[in-house]
Amino acid sequence: MTTHFLSKLCCPFDKSDLHLQVFTEKEPDLIHEGLLACPTCNRLYPIIHGVPIMIPDNYREAQLEQPFFVKWESQLSLEAKEKAT
Ligand SMILES: [Zn+2]
C-alpha cells in the first residue's frame, strides 16, 4: 500500500483525514506496517502486511490486533498507547 494511496483514506465513521505513521516499508513509499489514527474519534487502524484494517468496531478482533500493538508499542504516540491498551 503506497503512502500516496493511504494519505487519501479517511475515517469510515466521521470522514476525518487520518494521520499516517509508517513503521516499516517494503521498498521506498510502499508501506508494510503502519498505523492510521483518526484525530476526531481517536480510532486506530493498523496497517498489517500492507493492508489497512478499517472495519466496523464489532468486527474487529482485538486478539488479532494485539500482537501488532505489542510489537510497535515503542513507536506509538502516547494517545495511541492509551487507546490500544
Ligand atoms: Zn474517526
The CA 64 to ligand 1 mean position distance, Å, reads: 21
The CA 10 to ligand 1 mean position distance, Å, reads: 8
The CA 17 to ligand 1 mean position distance, Å, reads: 8
List C-alpha distances in Å: 63 to 27, 44, 60.
29, 15, 9
The CA 27 to ligand 1 mean position distance, Å, reads: 29
d(CA 6, CA 68): 18
Biggest distance spanned by C-alpha atoms of the chain: 34
d(CA 59, CA 79): 23
12-63 pLDDT tens trace: 999 999 999 999 999 988 999 999 999 999 999 999 999 999 988 889 988 8
pTM: 0.85
